[in-house]
Amino acid sequence: MAYILSNYGSLLLRAMGQTLLLALSGLFFASIIGLIFGLLAVVHNKACNVIETVFVDVIRGVPMIVLAYFVYFGIPYFLNNMMGQNVTLSALTAGTICLSLNCGAYMAEIIRAGIQSVDPGQMEAARSLGLPYGKAMRKVVMPQAIRTMIPTIINQFIITLKDTSILSVIGFPELVNSAKNVVANTFRSFQTWFIVAVMYLIIILALSKAAKVIERRLNRGRKAV
């Protein structure tokens, strides 16, 4: 254990940084995608609703490892050989695209469900005061929806963070990919994988703790006497 830590510790730490970088950029775009598609699902417009359903069904219906191969290898192949373009995708870009599409689809469903869990009377009350739809959504419905969505969103963030490991298959130097190299060099698989497991555990425990704090803070405002 000490051998691995002293010789490969900094490499694994750097890999952990890459994992976090990938996860954060993925989550950032996933939140935007989730918000856009979540709203598409709740507006009173059939076409918008259908777009959301199709997006979610397609992304949820494809395993992320397949999505990763498709984005990283398939799409450049298509562009280069069939469209005559010269395109290369970095592993980070491809990984971010995969994570944001995958996590974005689940986020869209979480946001849709969160908004729909708010009593329709709230929207009606806001609209009857003369507020336009967007303002009513932002000021009245969303703040209530977010309160119920937070635990599920954090859960999805944790899943996505762990899913970054899948992107080791396209050669992104995140934690799992780097650990594989360490094992290949040292044959010390027990020690290496144990350290990697602990590293994931620490990040995720920190994230869970942060989530609890946010949740408590959100609930504090309301029932304060």
Partner 1 sequence: MAEKQSEGNVKIHVSHLSKSFGKLEVLKDISVDVHEGEVVVVIGPSGSGKSTFLRCLNRLETATGGEITVDGENILDRRTDINHVRQNIGMVFQHFNLFPHMDVLKNLMMAPLELKKDDKERMEQTAMQMLKKVGMDEKAHAYPDQLSGGQQQRVAIARALCMHPDIMLFDEPTSALDPEMVGEVLEVMKELASEGMTMVVVTHEMGFAREVGDRLLFMDGGYIVEQGDPREVLSNPQEKRTKDFLSKVL
State the residues that interact with partner 1 by CB under 8 A: 119, 121-122, 124-132, 135, 139-140, 143-144, 147, 221-225
Count the Cβ atoms, other than its own, within 10 Å of residue 116.
13
Q: Which is nearer to partner 1, 48 or 131 (CB)?
A: 131
Q: Which is nearer to partner 1, 61 or 121 (CB)?
A: 121
Helix, strand, coil percent values for the chain (each to nearest 5): 85, 0, 15
Contact between 157 and 207 under an 8 Å Cβ cutoff? The reply is yes
CB of 128 to partner 1, least distance (A): 4
CA distance 67 to 153: 22
CB of 221 to partner 1, least distance (A): 7
How long a stretch of residues is the chain? 225
Q: Which is nearer to partner 1, 122 or 191 (CB)?
A: 122
CB of 222 to partner 1, least distance (A): 6
CB of 45 to partner 1, least distance (A): 14
Of 85, 71, 103, 26, the residue nearest 170 (C-alpha): 71
For 67-118, the three-class secondary structure string (H helix, E strand, C coil) is HHHHHHHHHHHHHHHHCCCCCCCCHHHHHHHHHHHHHHHHHHHHHHHHHHCC
CB of 145 to partner 1, least distance (A): 10
CB of 123 to partner 1, least distance (A): 9
The tokens for 84 are 């005559």
Q: Which is nearer to partner 1, 84 or 221 (CB)?
A: 221
Contact between 208 and 154 under an 8 Å Cβ cutoff? The reply is yes
* Single-letter residue type at 60: R
Residue with tokens 């130097």: 173
Q: Which is nearer to partner 1, 10 or 219 (CB)?
A: 219
Q: Which is nearer to partner 1, 5 or 215 (CB)?
A: 215
